[in-house]
């Protein structure tokens, strides 16, 4: 399963990475501190396929007034 994280404060400054659920940064959408989504942002997912996460993220950023950098974290290679 794949996930990505939108951080409300930093999405304009930092790349939005897609992660595999097994990644230490992601932990199935619970994040590094295993606290789940919180007021600072949210995890989107799970997506069954990496391409589904790509599509969802691209659809989401169309709603923004800004084009953030997006990428696939090394855990997806
Ligand atoms: Zn990762």
- Tell the residue number behind the tokens 């997806």, with chain if given: 76
pLDDT at 77: 80
What are the extents of the domains in the chain?
A: 16-65
39 CA from centroid of ligand 1 (Å)? 21
pLDDT, one tens digit per residue, over 14-64 is 999 999 999 999 999 998 888 777 788 999 999 999 999 999 999 999 998
64 CA from centroid of ligand 1 (Å)? 23
CA distance 22 to 13: 25
Does the reported pTM lie above 0.85?
Answer: yes
63 CA from centroid of ligand 1 (Å)? 24
Numbers of helices and strands, H then E, in the chain: 1, 4
Are residues 31 and 5 in contact, defined by beta-carbon separation less than 8 angstroms?
yes
The band of 70, judged by pLDDT with boundaries at 50, 70 and 90, is: very high
Pairing of strands 70-72, 16-20: parallel
- Beta bridge partner(s), residue 15: none
Q: What is the DSSP letter of 15?
A: P
């Amino acid at each position: 399963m794949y996930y990505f994280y939108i951080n409300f404060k930093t999405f304009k400054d930092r790349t939005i990475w897609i992660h595999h659920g097994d990644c230490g940064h992601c932990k199935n959408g619970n994040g590094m501190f295993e606290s789940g989504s919180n007021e600072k942002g949210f995890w989107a997912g799970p997506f069954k396929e990496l391409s589904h996460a790509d599509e969802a993220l691209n659809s989401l950023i169309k709603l923004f007034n800004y084009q953030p950098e997006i990428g696939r974290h090394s855990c997806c290679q």
